[in-house]
Amino acid sequence: MTIGKSRSIAFLGTGLMGAPMARMLLQSGFAVTVWNRNREKAEGLVPDGAVLADTPAAAVKGASVVFTMLTDGKAVEDVLFTQGAAEALDAGAVVIDSSSITPDAARQHASKLAGRGIRHLDAPVSGGVLGAAAGTLAIMAGGDGALVEELADVFAPLGRVTHVGPSGCGQLAKLGNQQIVAITIGAVAEAMLLFEAGGGSREAFRRAIRGGFAESRILDVHGQRMVNRDFGTAGPSKLQLKDLNNIVATAEGLALTLPLTEAVRAEFAEFVEHGGGETDHSGLLLQLEEKNRRSSKG
């Protein structure tokens, strides 16, 4: 199959991140067929011009490029190889997996697809729902660098793509990104706790350190959520925990010890266990506040 300007795209997984990404592709003039396990989430893209499919296999039929944006590696494996998407694809098609999964799983999927003559990139993203809606995602692509360049027009509406290495390296980069995000969220939350406990205002503290060495996107967006105590569900903590679990498992396979990552993972695990799974990961502040309340009572 020749990939050209007439390419058609299938998008499998139109949840919090997938829906705005698919919408950006539609607004850029691509023909996009969508599928989601919860049909209603895919139906919302029909007014934007998407074609709705009943099954993953039906969605990818005739597509030259397929995006997957699914919960985890098991979901990707199921959609591609159990529900028949890979079998329905023509040789020469490309699967771009933007899900956050383990590097090993990404390599296994690439190998299985290659056996069918289908090319694969693991290309997870960072930037959250806001970045997906604005087309400003950071896209970390693992696989063939020439293929990344070949698909530049597909990536352009979504954000900035960087080829980071061979198959699996996209997922490694995303794990590193999630390490930094989780640890920084924890650092901002603890600093706010410290400042407020000493009699200061979280809002004033955040304003005071903006522009200094502690400045970050986390301080900007997630710090504001902590100030407002308006956490929402944009980046569910259960997914942050999933990524942290994958990071620790990958590190163990590489004989690495990551003490900061393990510490923040323990806090997210406790937060999720006590009902915070759907709360945005900036809600880790709630976990740390509760932990300090329990400590003071003890």
Mind listing the pLDDT tens digit for each residue in 206-263? 999 999 999 999 999 999 999 999 999 989 999 999 999 999 999 999 999 999 999 9
- Both 248 and 149 in one domain: the answer is no
Domain end call among 165, 194, 209? 165
Q: How far apart are CA 186 and CA 183, in angstroms?
A: 5
Q: Report which DSSP code applies to 48.
A: G
Residue 115's alpha-carbon distances to 11, 111, 243, 262, 264, in angstroms, are 22, 6, 28, 37, 39
- Both 207 and 260 in one domain: the answer is yes
- Both 79 and 199 in one domain: the answer is no
Q: Report which DSSP code applies to 89.
A: S
Just list the catalytic residues. Answer: 174
Domain end call among 105, 137, 165? 165
Neighbours of 48 (CB within 10 A): 15
- Both 160 and 181 in one domain: the answer is no
> What's the domain range around 271?
173-297
pTM higher than 0.95, yes or no? no
* CATH for 55: 3.40.50.720
Contact between 259 and 208 under an 8 Å Cβ cutoff? The reply is no
Residue 169's alpha-carbon distances to 76, 123, 162, in angstroms, are 17, 9, 11
- Both 52 and 113 in one domain: the answer is yes
- Both 38 and 149 in one domain: the answer is yes
Span 96-130, pLDDT tens digits: 999 999 999 999 999 999 999 999 999 999 998 99
- Both 153 and 184 in one domain: the answer is no
Model pLDDT, residue 1: 39
* CATH for 278: 1.10.1040.10
- Both 19 and 148 in one domain: the answer is yes
Domain end call among 165, 181, 206? 165
- Both 152 and 240 in one domain: the answer is no
- Both 183 and 149 in one domain: the answer is no
